[in-house]
Structure formats: structure tokens, C-alpha cells
């Protein structure tokens, strides 16, 4: 089922961990409504990266919804926006996560990005606004969590 032009429900609920462990990862109707908003955000991001680079820029390796058992299985906390269908991790073709974050920084309000995280090998975005503004734009790598979009050190 397509949620937007380029993003399917299957893509936003896919989980290698769930498949490997035979664990259910089917969203409730409430989560599905949030996943639609998340897909719309990903579509805006895809369109924007494509327009600003001048070349089709698909988003890949998407991790969207994760049920509580799946989310716990991969070691994430129950408070994660992924559990509510409000967040997605992704890569963009030919771009580093740092480059994607830099491109999106001026567009956070316009696109409805409540949180953006530059992680080692992917970008995390959430449609939900963080409680503390300091947590809206962060970088997480093996050295910890820091404010702002920084070059990550592997
Ligand atoms: Zn994430």
C-alpha cells in the first residue's frame, strides 16, 4: 500500500530484526495515521533533496515503525518515536548523513521536522516536537550525544 508517491506501508514497517525473529510488526490504526504523516515528511525530504541536488535522490535503508517487542529487540527505549510511528531512520543515495542534515537544517519548521539526529550511518527524523529545544538538532556517535549537526567520528 502506498502512503505517498514514493513510500509504501511495507517500507515503513520493514524490520530485519522482526523478520529474523518472527516477531509481529503490524501498526495499529492510530500508528498507521502517524505513519502517513511520517511518509509525507519523507516525501518532502526526498523531493527537496532531489530538487536541490538536481538529480533523483531516493531515500534508502528506511526504518520507520517498530512495535515495542521489535524496538526492545534492537536495544531501543520504549520512549522512542519509532514505537508511535512518528519517526524514521534513513539514508539518501550519494549523500552522507551529515550532508543530508545540513541540507535539511533550514527546512525544519517548513517540513515539520520536530527532531533531527545525525547518527553514524543514518539520519533520524521525527514529526514530533521534542520537549526540550536543545534536543531538537543533535548528533549521536560513539563519543556520545551532542547538540547540533556535527561531523561524526566513526
Ligand atoms: Zn531513529
Q: What tens digit of pLDDT does each residue of 74-87 get?
A: 999 999 999 999 99
**Ligand 1: distance of its center to the CA of 21 in Å?**
20
CATH number at residue 67: 3.30.1380.10
Q: Which domain holds residue 90?
A: 9-147
73 within a domain of the structure (yes/no)? yes
**Ligand 1: distance of its center to the CA of 64 in Å?**
8
22 within a domain of the structure (yes/no)? yes
- Compute the distance between CA of residue 142 and CA of residue 87 in angstroms, rounded to an integer: 21
Beta pairing class for 137-141 and 115-119: parallel
**Ligand 1: distance of its center to the CA of 29 in Å?**
21
**Ligand 1: distance of its center to the CA of 152 in Å?**
16
The pLDDT value recorded for residue 143 is 85
Nearest to 5, CA basis, from 47, 33, 35 = 47
**Ligand 1: distance of its center to the CA of 108 in Å?**
16
**Angle value at C-alpha 6, between 39 and 120, nearest 5 degrees:** 65
**Ligand 1: distance of its center to the CA of 123 in Å?**
7
pLDDT beyond 70 at 154: no
**Ligand 1: distance of its center to the CA of 124 in Å?**
5
Find out whether 86 and 128 touch, Cβ atoms under 8 Å.
yes
1: which residues sit within 8 A by CB, 6+ positions away?
8, 9, 10
Query: Structurally, how many domains does the chain consist of?
Result: 1
35 within a domain of the structure (yes/no)? yes
pTM: 0.96
pLDDT tens profile 99-135: 999 999 999 999 999 999 999 899 999 999 999 999 9
**Ligand 1: distance of its center to the CA of 41 in Å?**
14
For range 10-25, the mean pLDDT: 95
For range 11-23, the mean pLDDT: 96
Amino acid at each position: 500500500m502506498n502512503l505517498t508517491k514514493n513510500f509504501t506501508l511495507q517500507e515503513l514497517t520493514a524490520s530485519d530484526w522482526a523478520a529474523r525473529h518472527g516477531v509481529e510488526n503490524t501498526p495499529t490504526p492510530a500508528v498507521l495515521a502517524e505513519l502517513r504523516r511520517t511518509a509525507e515528511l519523507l516525501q518532502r525530504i526526498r523531493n527537496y533533496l532531489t530538487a536541490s541536488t538536481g538529480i533523483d535522490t531516493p531515500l534508502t535503508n528506511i526504518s520507520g515503525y517498530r512495535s515495542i517487542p521489535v524496538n526492545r529487540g534492537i536495544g531501543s527505549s520504549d520512549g522512542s518515536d519509532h514505537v508511535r510511528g512518528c519517526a524514521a531512520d534513513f539514508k539518501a543515495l550519494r549523500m552522507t548523513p551529515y550532508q543530508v542534515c545540513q541540507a535539511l537544517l533550514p527546512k525544519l519548521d517548513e517540513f515539520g521536522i520536530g527532531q533531527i539526529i545525525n547518527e553514524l550511518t543514518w539520519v533520524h527524523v521525527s514529526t514530533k516536537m521534542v520537549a526540550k529545544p536543545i534536543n531538537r538538532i543533535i548528533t549521536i556517535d560513539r563519543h556520545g550525544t551532542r547538540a547540533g549537526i556535527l561531523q561524526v567520528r566513526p
